[in-house]
Amino acid sequence: MKHEIIMATAYFTVLFLSLASAVRWLRMRHLFPMFFAPIFVCYTLYELVICYQVKFGVFDNLDRYTQAWYNLPIWLHEGILLLEDVFCFILVRRERYVRRHSINVNSVADALNNVDCGLMYSEWDGTIVLINHKMWQLARIFSDVQYYNALDFWRMIISFNESDEAKRIDFTSWPAFLLKDNTVWSFERSILSDADKRYLEIVARDVTDLYNKRVNVEEEITELSSVQGRLQDVLKNISTTGNDEELLAYKVHIHDRLGNAILRTRQILRGSVQNFEEPARESILGLWSNTIKAFKNNRLEVEQNKEGSLAALYSQAETLGIELFMFGDFPVYNEVAIRAVREAMYNSIRHAYANSLTVESYKEDGGYRVHIYDDGKAHTDTVVEGGGLKSIRRAVEEQGGTMRVAVPDGVELYIFFKEEAK
């Protein structure tokens, strides 16, 4: 009888707990499949063995009820047990699914420990309420002391400088440290606000990749800076070197002409040229004339390089067929001012078909105020600044000045140069 009671109890317990689990009535639903289900499975297997033993007459003194129970067809026992096992298996699967897809205390703890960064949460007074495994590991690297207060921990972090395990580095605005394993960690602190409560959050992030990239970028910037310097020098010299080569070639050419002229003249003076008629005379005169002209122009080039500014402007205006009027104190040594007048001259001809350009300038507030206007007609109410005007504006503003474009009739430029650049 004892067996029947145990077995019946077992069967009903299985059924009850399974149903309870299914409706999530009992809070112990996790315990059942993990611990009790295997026990019941083992027990039912044991019962199966007993059934076989009864069937083959191992036990003699069984009452009739017991005998009747165990004399039921074996396939019925087996079927009941098989159903029980299947039911338990389904329950286990279900419980695993629920465990994975629902949030509970254990899942939160697991998740926090699995994140790649260190996390620490505390009450406003610093009492730690949550810390993950990574933060705990990091804290052990910085200090052997066990911290129970987040504020103390943060004070330790911001005052930490260097040890065998870690070294402070200047990387972000937050404290950052290079660890012995060549990883870089940055610590950040923030405040989390609930409806009526505030918490402290300390996060340690692995910024190794970012740090390595910054180191590489810094190295490249250093290299690029030196290269940029060299490139700028080269760019500055391109025109000069190109011109130098051309000049050298042309000077050789002029030299040859001069030699030729001298030789021809010498021949004439010595009387080796017998028929010194008019065509020959014209030829040698032309030779000397060209040579002298070349020498004159060569001298002019040197002079223009020194102080060509205003004279060159007037000369260019004359070449382009526009009259240039300049009044007042013009900043003649300011290259940008000269460029501005030149640009205005080009634009006056191209866009306003002007015949004259007027430049009025006077000293004011430690600078020069320059007003440039023409007698042409503007075709639009607004001016879109192209490459030339943009470039002038940039140059003026770099010098600390200002530039304004107005379109009353023609286009007018108002420029203030802060000081005269020599």
Partner 1 sequence: MTRVLIVDDSVTVRTLFESIIEGSDVYSLAGTLENAKAALPFCMRSPVDLILMDVYTKDRENGLEAAREIKKEFPDIKIIISTSLPEESFLEKAKAAGCESFWYKEVGELGLLDVMNRTMRGESVYPDTTPTVSVGLAKSVEFTPMEMKVLRELCNGKLNKDIAKELCMSENTVKFHINNMLQKAGYSNRYQLAIDAVEQKLIVPGF
Give the x-and-dash track for 313-332 against partner 1 (CB under 8 A). Answer: ---x--xxxx----------
Helix, strand or coil, per DSSP, at residue 208: helix
- Give the residue among 276, 283, 293, 279 at the shortest CA–CA distance from 261: 283
How many other CB atoms are there within 10 angstroms of residue 7's CB atom?
20
Burial 238-250 (b: 16+ CB within 10 A, else e): eeeeeeeeeeeee
- Residue number, 53 or 228, with CB nearest to partner 1: 228
Distance CA(205)–CA(218), nearest Å, equals: 22
In whole angstroms, the minimum distance from the beta carbon of 94 to partner 1 comes to 51
Q: Assess 344 for contact with partner 1 (CB under 8 A).
A: no
- Residue number, 141 or 254, with CB nearest to partner 1: 254
CA-CA distances (angstroms) from residue 327 to 26, 151, 345, 361, 371? 101, 72, 16, 6, 10
Q: Assess 284 for contact with partner 1 (CB under 8 A).
A: no
Q: Assess 240 for contact with partner 1 (CB under 8 A).
A: no
CA 414 to chain centroid, in Å, comes to 39
For partner 1, the binding residue among 104, 243, 260, 283 (CB under 8 A) is: 243
Distance CA(134)–CA(114), nearest Å, equals: 9
Q: Which stretch binds partner 1 (CB under 8 A): 76-84, 109-117, 235-243, 376-384?
A: 235-243
> What token pair was written down for 26?
């009992």
In whole angstroms, the minimum distance from the beta carbon of 287 to partner 1 comes to 11
For partner 1, the binding residue among 72, 346, 362, 385 (CB under 8 A) is: 346
- Residue number, 235 or 269, with CB nearest to partner 1: 235
For partner 1, the binding residue among 105, 235, 269, 384 (CB under 8 A) is: 235
Q: Assess 90 for contact with partner 1 (CB under 8 A).
A: no
Distance CA(151)–CA(128), nearest Å, equals: 9
Under a CB-based contact definition with an 8 Å cutoff, are residues 198 and 151 in contact?
Answer: no
Give the x-and-dash track for 252-271 against partner 1 (CB under 8 A). Answer: xxx-----------------
Interaction site with partner 1 (CB under 8 A): 223-224, 227-228, 230-231, 234-235, 238-239, 241-243, 245-247, 249-254, 286, 290, 293-294, 297-298, 300-301, 304, 316, 319-322, 339, 342, 345-346, 349-350, 353, 388
